Amino acid sequence: MIRIAAIVARLTRNFRILRMLSFYNINADISLVRQPCIFLKMLSGYCCSGIQSKRIWEDIMTEQEMLYILAIAEERNITHAAERLHVAQPSLTQSLKKIEKELGTKLFVRRKYGLDPTDSGKLYIEMARDVTARINVFREDLRKMNDPMKGQLSLGASWYNTLLYFSDFVPRFSSDYPDAKLRLIEKNSAGLMEMLKGHEADMIIVHEYPKEYPGQQPVPAKDICREPLENESFRILGKRQLFSEYGIPENEAADLRRMEDLPFIFFNRDQRIRHITDFALRNAGVSVKCALLTQSFPGALDFASTGLGFVILPEHYIAANISHYPSLISVPLGPSLHAYWSNCIYYRVQEYDDPLREEALRILKGFSLQK
């Protein structure tokens, strides 16, 4: 016998529910770890902290009820939520009142701009999001086990890695496995990792700092696998006239020490490419002028083509776009500057084989070798 608190820690990673179950000292057989539906049914019989009655009526914690509350929370309007759910507005209103009555607490308060969740409502919403996400994962896992090549894959990447990898991968994969469904997610690396840990993505491609970059080594969770794809070097790019004006050779690796005080186009400080650019400049021991700050790779190319300054960009992006800018040239940066990033695939450990994911991994790694 073990405490359900330990089961919840594994199944939901929800520390509020963990503390609540520890408080009630609820026990269950360890077999529930392998039977999440039974576990969720048992969990539905107990209250969350802040709710008056200890026992919850069995129909409150159904998936449908949770979806109702989530829709209201996201729409902040009963009418809009009802339209989204394809139910009558009076029916949804009555469902909300019924849930609140049985919980003994208000889940929403009405404001001028819409409905806001109360503290109890926020707790319910957090729980409902976690549980419904895991129910969806459970259903998808069953579908994959029954017919693995007809499942769904949720793949995540930054906008740049989406362009770099998925633009070739999606047509190839869809052609090979027409019955499979693909869902693409675009976020930054931190957001993607959170989605992977939360079972909202099956596989993600992220940029990592070079191994020489201090204090930035990847530390994945125990149930997360990491496979490197490739290292992508950065190049320095600028208008040919600018190279000539400052005496920068066009046919050899750039010596940044000769570019002291020259104008550069920089990316914003919260972007990984900016961190690595700053690292390369520090390695070279030079200080340059900031001619412009931007977040956009295309914008950086446009401004560089006007002669505003030099810019450091990934080599694959330059190769794919420089033909549109006849006035621009690019040269490599020396290896001693460690101006590159690593592209890696992350995915979760699973207790069963997933042929669809394995095929996706094989195809993606094949594309990386061709670049």
Question: 353-371: per-residue pLDDT in tens?
Answer: 788 889 999 999 887 655 5
Q: What pLDDT score was predicted for residue 21?
A: 40
SS3 22: helix
Maximum distance among all Cα pairs of the chain, rounded to whole angstroms: 79
Q: Was domain 233-340 assigned CATH 3.80.30.20?
A: no
Domains 148-229+342-370 and 233-340 share a fold: yes
Using CB atoms within 10 Å of the CB of residue 79, give its burial: 0 to 12 exposed, 13 to 18 middle, 19+ buried: exposed
Specify the CATH class of 44-141 in words. Answer: mainly alpha
Could you tell me the pTM of the whole model? 0.62
Model confidence pLDDT, tens digit, residues 57-95: 344 468 889 999 999 999 999 999 999 999 999 999 999
Q: What pLDDT score was predicted for residue 329?
A: 96
Measured over the CA atoms of residue 48, residue 54, residue 55 and residue 60, the dihedral's sign is: negative
Task: Classify strands 203-208 and 152-157 as parallel, antiparallel or unpaired.
Answer: parallel
Going by C-alpha positions, the residue among 196, 229, 200 that lies closest to residue 347 is 196
Q: What pLDDT score was predicted for residue 27?
A: 40
How much is the average pLDDT of 170-194? Answer: 92
Burial 135-165, CB ≥16 within 10 A → b, else e: eebeebbeebeeebeebebbbbbbebbbbbb
Q: What percent of the chain shows pLDDT beyond 90?
A: 58
> Where along the chain do its domains lie?
44-141, 148-229+342-370, 233-340
Going by C-alpha positions, the residue among 288, 276, 290, 210 that lies closest to residue 248 is 288
Model confidence pLDDT, tens digit, residues 208-263: 998 888 877 666 778 899 999 999 999 999 999 999 999 999 889 999 988 999 99
Confidence band for 152, pLDDT divided at 50, 70 and 90: confident
Q: Of 14-23, 113-122, 212-221, 259-268, which range is least confident?
A: 14-23
Higher pLDDT, 351 or 1: 351
Residue 270: φ, ψ to 5° = -90, 5
Q: What pLDDT score was predicted for residue 150?
A: 77
Options 3.40.190.10, 3.30.420.10, 3.40.50.620, 1.10.579.10; CATH for 148-229+342-370 is: 3.40.190.10
Q: Helix count (H) and strand count (E) of the chain?
A: 15, 13
